[in-house]
Structure 1
Amino acid sequence: MLVCSQQIQNIKNELELDASKSTINRELLKFGLKVYKVPTKPVLSMSNTNDRIEFAQKHRRWRQKWQEIVFSDESAFNLSQNDGRLLVRLYSSDQRDENGYRITKPSDSYKSVMVWGAISILGTGPLVRVTKRLTALEYLNLFRQRLRRYYPGLYNNQQIFQDDNAPCHRAGLVNQWFNKYNIKRIVWPAKSPDLNIIENVWGHIKYKIKNRTYQNEDELWNDIENEWIKFPTELIFRLYESLPRRIEAVIQENGFNTNY
């Protein structure tokens, strides 16, 4: 199944049509071929679901405690498809589940900007442009100074740091640094973007810039940074308030993916 924008271009090329993409799109809709968003949720093993249930049960009584967490994550922003969505064109009667798609991306060579950021209950914190494949040392250098500046509460155990299970995040060098400064880290279940509220921040920014065009990565980075700086603090507060509901959703789904 091809991303819908490429489908239209292929139709134009193969049939040598002198018609606009909007005209072709209207004709496809007449035949019942609608556009759907491809599910992007991770495939979970039984071990993953068990870990997620265990995590949810352990933190089920957390309410205000979530406000102590500093969430962090990396994200890639492409010069094209900045809203991060893949779209396919299907008949409404087709089965639409994540196991039913065979996605062919238009190109694997899109230029992109990779960023790392962190948020707290008070709003957005540091945002750093990074290389696409972080080493442990590069990851550590992201926050060696920045955490003390933005989140001094990490150093007196008033805050807790969250990152996922990427290899560079769990490298011995990184673990030693956190142990040296006695910084608490929450043990995070693998493949749980639905519990990491910074994912919603990335999604919001990608949505805001999805219709903009960029000549190069520097222009894209400038827009990402500007949207990050002005991200509404009240929206981040609401994301923190959603965490107990997310935990309950994991339990209700027996550890499988939730709607968050």
Structure 2
Amino acid sequence: MGHKASHVALECTLQSHPNTVILGEKVSASKLALFDLTKQICDVVQCRAEQDKYHGVILLPEGLIESIPEEIHGLLRQGVSLDNISSQLTPWASALFEFLPPFIRKQFLLFPESDDSAQLSQIETEKLLAHLVEAEVNKSLAMMTVKHYGRGPGTSSIGKPALHPAAVDLRGKAYMIVIGCRLLRQKATRFLMDNIYRNSGRLQFDGPGADAKPVTLRIEDQDYMGCIKKLREYLDKVRTIVKPGCSQDSFERLLWQTFSK
């Protein structure tokens, strides 16, 4: 989930409490390869399997592997044929492209979106990771398999406000709550091993929950819409008190008293 950055995956993590989450910004900052992610997920699967828990929830963004299809589309726009794509990729991308299963390679070659971005929603990243994890886990545990993956529901635009693309600040409060703060470090094993999933319910536009704000905004103190609402309340208060003909000194004093609270 999350077309380019991991901000949607982070918000869903704060609301739903999955066993683990993979953020694209963290992968990039740590320079993790696909094989590193596979090993990381395998460790989670194996730890839970030791407690007879052959299920779990892992969140990951669609943009986890976006650099490879974008590089491919750049070559296609230059007139490079499909048969010669692999030889024209950068060494790392070429090696990974050849390693990938055929069904993923085919999805990488899909035509880009109207804005020239890759069709990340059509690239089954979760199925790719499930394929790699199953192969890796079967090397050590022959009786264990990983075959099922869950996809989010299909969506369509309804013209309502949404979370706009924004990179996750790895030094921000929201990320530190998920990854780095002392409180979560103490509970990291509980999140990983226990089933404390939370269903945050449907997005509401009317009634209870309609005014609920994203957790990331509340944590980061970046509640822009909340600040706008508070500003309107202040202006309405000034409008009801200040009458036509009021002196400038009285008006400025009232403004100072209102906004200093």
Q: Does TM, scored on the shorter chain, surpass 0.5?
A: no
Is the radius of gyration larger for structure 1 or structure 2?
2
Normalising by structure 2, report the TM-score: 0.29
The structure whose residues are more often strand, as a share, is: 1
Normalising by structure 1, report the TM-score: 0.29
The structure whose residues are more often helix, as a share, is: 2
